[in-house]
Amino acid sequence: MNGCSFEWSAITESGTNLVPLTGPGHVGLRNLGNTCYINSLLQLFFALPEFHEQFFREPTDLYLNAPQDPASDLVTQLCKLAYGLGSTKYADGTSEISPKMLKTIVGRNHPEFSSIRQQDIHEYYQHFLKCMSRYVYAHMHKQPLRSFVLNTECSLRGSAARAQGINDLSQLFTFDQEVRLECLQSHRVRYVTCLPQFFALISLSLSLIRLLGFVLSCGSISYTTVSGENTLALAVSAEDAINQEEVAASQERADSGSLLPQVLPIIPFERLLEKFAASEIIDHFMSPVTQQLGTHNDGAGDGSVQGYLPISCD
């Protein structure tokens, strides 16, 4: 929704007759203040089969295998939520679930996510995955968790964690991105690969990664692999719209007082990907080889995705 111009009906189902869905997988979450951003993310996670298979347990199993302090155990609360969303207990169309304990655990000691105020969903997404990874890491060298997490075998990274029966599902969202850098003065070839970076511990912009990779390459053509990222950021501009003339005409009518619905820009997703992968010529670059100012060319190359590719359009 466009909160700046309040274009609610243009992108929602305004004026249509919708049939409410009920049943397992169609259970709502209660808003704990302004926590709709948390609910949206949790609904997304538990719509994935990996989350359902990992955490869905019958109440009897959950009770028999609960730790000493289940109220402060992340996995226990995720199992409770998975059962509530995926079973028929709350699927009558009138019930809703309050994820209060899970919110408390994930937001503990965090100045923003411990509150009931509206926060940025992307920041919470990063924080939530970090909490999951920390939980797995903390249990790597301890006794195996109870049977309610010993259910699946995932081809995810972290063999020590898998040996303990714990799957770090945060790795489902990581991907590796290759960046191509070329000094247009020397044209020498060299391959430079960055060490794998853990997304929760370090976050570098693509521009900084490109700069570091180019400096390490000593002016050669370099293929720098950016590892451990978990969000593909795509830039969105009104100039990418394929209906710019219609949008401009609609804006003129709105400025003149017209009450006709305003035409919104149509931006193909393929165009955003093309912009992301396009090469760029950078001027005023001091080549480490020729020791002269010149240009270099950079662009995005191939990559690999572990499971899912979250995309952020800004």
Q: How many structural domains are present in the chain?
A: 2
Distance CA 250, CA 263 (A): 6
Q: Is 253 helix (H, G, I), strand (E, B) or coil?
A: helix
Q: What is the pLDDT of residues 109-122, one digit of tens each?
A: 899 999 988 899 98
Looking at this protein, which amino acid is placed at residue 66? Answer: A
Do 194 and 151 lie in one domain? The reply is no
Q: Report the CATH number that the domain containing residue 78 is assigned in CATH.
A: 3.90.70.10
Do 166 and 180 lie in one domain? The reply is no
Do 231 and 303 lie in one domain? The reply is yes
Whether 161 is covered by a domain: the verdict is yes
Would you write out the chain's pLDDT as a tens digit for each of its 314 residues? 444 555 555 555 666 777 778 889 889 999 988 899 999 999 999 999 999 888 898 888 877 777 888 888 898 899 999 999 999 999 888 888 999 999 999 999 899 999 988 899 989 999 999 998 888 888 765 544 333 333 333 333 333 333 345 688 888 888 777 777 777 777 765 554 443 333 333 333 444 334 434 333 333 444 444 445 788 888 888 889 999 999 999 999 999 998 888 898 999 998 888 888 777 777 777 777 777 777 766 666 656 777 888 888 87
Please say which residue of 170, 194, 209 terminates a domain: 170
What are the CA-CA distances from residue 87 to residues 27, 29, 57, 84 (Å)? 9, 14, 10, 6
Do 122 and 41 lie in one domain? The reply is yes
Do 78 and 33 lie in one domain? The reply is yes
Q: What is the pLDDT of residues 22-79, one digit of tens each?
A: 889 889 999 988 899 999 999 999 999 999 888 898 888 877 777 888 888 898 899 9
What are the CA-CA distances from residue 265 to residues 6, 72, 234, 245, 272 (Å)? 15, 47, 17, 10, 14
Q: Cα–chain-centroid distance for residue 5?
A: 26
At residue 87's C-alpha, the angle toward residues 23 and 168, to 5°, is 120
Whether 296 is covered by a domain: the verdict is yes
Q: Per the structure block, which two tokens stand in for 164?
A: 């303990």
Whether 19 is covered by a domain: the verdict is no
Whether 304 is covered by a domain: the verdict is yes
Whether 14 is covered by a domain: the verdict is no
Q: Which of 108, 106, 103 is nearest to 128 (CA)?
A: 106
Please say which residue of 127, 154, 170 terminates a domain: 170
Please say which residue of 137, 170, 203 terminates a domain: 170
Whether 272 is covered by a domain: the verdict is yes
Do 194 and 96 lie in one domain? The reply is no
Whether 2 is covered by a domain: the verdict is no
Q: Is 138 helix (H, G, I), strand (E, B) or coil?
A: helix
Distance CA 142, CA 75 (A): 15
Q: What pTM does this model have?
A: 0.70
Do 160 and 224 lie in one domain? The reply is no
Which residues constitute the domain of residue 148? Answer: 28-170
Whether 293 is covered by a domain: the verdict is yes
